[in-house]
Structure 1
Amino acid sequence: MAIALSQLIAETDQLLDAARFNDYCPNGLQVEGRPYVSKIVSGVTASQALVDAAIEAEADVLLVHHGYFWKGENPCVTGMKQRRLKALLDNDISLVAYHLPLDVHAELGNNVQLAKRLGWSIEGGLEADNPRSVGLVGAPAQVQTPQELAAQLALALGREPLLIAGSQPVRRLAWCTGAAQGYIDKALAAGVDAFITGEVSEPTVHFARENDITFIAAGHHATERYGVQALGEYLARHFAIAHEFIDCANPV
């Protein structure tokens, strides 16, 4: 069975409320391919490796969290960008990307999906005054030491996280997938015992130590594998088309 590309995009844009986000990149259809879709390949980032894998898998659409055309980047279509775009266009594959809309979605979003895999309950947004808060606040299934929390993440994500352990057991925690280490001050203000994100910066370590809050950098790629998978699976069910998630490993 196949679905019109235009219908797929229109319904996905509406599902994720994409038009309401002021994002760092365009959301939705970024590169237009063939007009009908019978198979979606999803992945985290539209790297050359993922584009090549989508071609090999005979995808009609490549669905990603990290697409192209970021604010501030060189707009010239040369080098790496030319090779990626040429591969998509030569093979008539559409590139569809959702960044912030996929981070915050209440069912399919990266942060909700990460919580489901870890068994965390969700209390509310990390930014209490922001109805579109990217980060979330909640609690683990049971009180844990920082080391136990880090071990749980390592097992679930298949990646050893960076742990800056505080002195308190983890009863409440905050998290924000990707590169959200700058939100650690919001986590402290929320009164949680631990903050989990994907990446770390040099000042983050000092902030965590001096404020006695557990900080865990569990990997940008690793924490953002699940939203795009959930979206791809949803679209496959909704439109009765095929979907395959392809994980191109990234240590960051």
Structure 2
Amino acid sequence: MLRSEFELLLNKTLNPSRFKDYAPNGLQVEGKKDIQRVVTGVTASQALIDAAVEYQADAIFVHHGYFWKNEDPRIIGMKHRRIAALIKNDINLYGYHLPLDAHPKLGNNAGLANAIGLLNRSALQLGVPIEESIGIVGELNESVSAAVFQKNVECAVGRDILFECVNDRAIHRVALCTGGAQGYIEQAIEADADVFITGEVSEQTIHVAREMGIHFIAAGHHATERFGAKAMSAFLSSHGLDSVFIDIDNPA
């Protein structure tokens, strides 16, 4: 597949023009013209680039790419080493941030919602179509205790989680937003959710949860955002590409 065709497929699928993002979505570092072998991952770290070189990849697709808003624009140090490795090996780098969070089938939120069995889904952000919302609200098939729900989430993300169980409230209505979205707990409260799941936690988040009576889960930024990269690998394989998801573990 030509590089231009590859990006057209990604843009048509993920619709980045719908989002005001913190980094450029799409091709970030140009490589070879023809793409057949693709590595997908969460973050364009040196370890992922090295794995892609070993795999002889033509392209890397990630959720966390480069050139973030307000970062140092100079290509020096760690950034230089990463980009130099991409250019030396003629590897294209594609990054899609909010579009990969929000996609209703391939996105991080959708993947986590699928893993915990969330039904009747709607947008966490009021007045926003679900395909443009970076958060989801949904319901479990039946109410469960906090202890049972904690085990279900830990099974879904494959790791221990931080669970602030604030009372004996059973869990039926769930709000979630993967990654560093602890600030969206207010929207979860407005949506009358019993629990809010995200990747990270801030000190004030716990106080909000306790005082407002909503259970809170920080399940890991990396752990909650593996879903989209995995789904995209399968999607690209279905379009005739040789694609593999490589998980560079991160405890954060």
Which TM bucket (shorter chain)? over 0.9
Computed over aligned residues only, the root mean square deviation of the Cα atoms, in angstroms, reads: 1.0
C-alpha spacing 1:122/1:177, structure 2 compared with 1 (3 Å): farther
What is the count of residue pairs matched by the alignment? 249
Deviations 1:101-157 (A, max 9, x none): 111111111111111122111420111212222111011233111222111111221
2:148 equivalent to 1:137: no
Q: Pick one of 99, 106, 109 that aligns with 2:107.
A: 109
**Secondary structure at the residue paired with 1:200?**
coil
Counterpart for residue 61 of structure 1: 59
Residues in 2 aligned to 1:19 and 1:128: alpha-carbon distance in whole angstroms? 20
Residues in 1 aligned to 2:139 and 2:198: alpha-carbon distance in whole angstroms? 15
Counterpart for residue 174 of structure 1: 175
**Secondary structure at the residue paired with 2:147?**
helix
Deviations 1:43-96 (A, max 9, x none): 000001111111111111110000000000000000000000001000000000
- Alpha-carbon offset, residue 19 of structure 1: 2.1
**Aligned residues: percent identity?**
49
Residues in 2 aligned to 1:5 and 1:45: alpha-carbon distance in whole angstroms? 21
**Secondary structure at the residue paired with 1:37?**
coil
Q: TM-score, normalised by structure 1?
A: 0.96
Deviations 1:150-195 (A, max 9, x none): 1111122111100101320001110000011000011111111000
Counterpart for residue 24 of structure 2: 26
**Aligned pairs for 1:181-220 within 5 A:** 181-220=182-221
Counterpart for residue 116 of structure 2: 118
Q: Judge which range, 149-158 or 98-107, deviates more.
A: 149-158
Counterpart for residue 162 of structure 2: 162
The runs of 4+ residues in structure 1 deviating greater than 2 Å are none
Q: Judge which range, 116-125 or 32-41, deviates more.
A: 116-125
2:148 equivalent to 1:148: yes
Residues in 1 aligned to 2:206 and 2:123: alpha-carbon distance in whole angstroms? 23
Residues in 2 aligned to 1:55 and 1:140: alpha-carbon distance in whole angstroms? 42
**Secondary structure at the residue paired with 1:163?**
strand
Residues in 2 aligned to 1:140 and 1:39: alpha-carbon distance in whole angstroms? 38
- Alpha-carbon offset, residue 228 of structure 1: 1.5
**Secondary structure at the residue paired with 2:93?**
strand
Residues in 2 aligned to 1:100 and 1:156: alpha-carbon distance in whole angstroms? 21
Q: TM-score, normalised by structure 2?
A: 0.96
**Secondary structure at the residue paired with 1:77?**
coil
Q: What residue identity is the alignment partner of 1:110?
A: N
**Secondary structure at the residue paired with 2:21?**
coil
**Secondary structure at the residue paired with 2:144?**
coil
> Does the Cα contact within 8 Å between 1:146 and 1:166 map onto a contact in 2?
no
Residues in 1 aligned to 2:165 and 2:186: alpha-carbon distance in whole angstroms? 16
Residues in 2 aligned to 1:184 and 1:46: alpha-carbon distance in whole angstroms? 28
Q: Judge which range, 196-205 or 122-131, deviates more.
A: 122-131
**Secondary structure at the residue paired with 1:123?**
strand
> Does the Cα contact within 8 Å between 2:112 and 2:156 map onto a contact in 1?
no
